[in-house]
Amino acid sequence: MARLESSRCSFNPEALSQIALIVDDVWKELCREGVHDASLGFGAGRSYVARKVFQLAQAQWSATQIKQLLLRALRNEISLRRREDCRALSKM
């Protein structure tokens, strides 16, 4: 019998609507802070945020915890990318 390389999760309609609200809230917060798609890398920033929300939702965090964790992680990632960009420019 074939093995699946990754586990699959499913979400009911209520959970999906909650996830959509979380993505919207987090994206709005990042936009208020002046974050653009390019700051997050990996293609479109909103899609990246959505993937991260799904990862956290699988871990059974509450909506508030997911928002807080995600915003902190994304802010840290953006800050790291900006520092790397500044270091690269200063070495030129």
Count of domains for the chain: 1
In a domain, 1, yes or no: no
In a domain, 32, yes or no: yes
In a domain, 41, yes or no: yes
> Counting runs of H as helices and runs of E as strands, what totals does the chain give?
4, 0
In a domain, 17, yes or no: yes
Residue of 88 and 53 predicted with greater confidence:
53
In a domain, 8, yes or no: no
Residue-wise pLDDT for 15-62, tens only, equals 889 889 998 898 888 888 876 555 555 446 788 888 888 888 888 788
- Residues 53 and 22 sit within 8 Å (Cβ to Cβ): yes
In a domain, 4, yes or no: no
Q: Which residues constitute the domain of residue 19?
A: 13-90
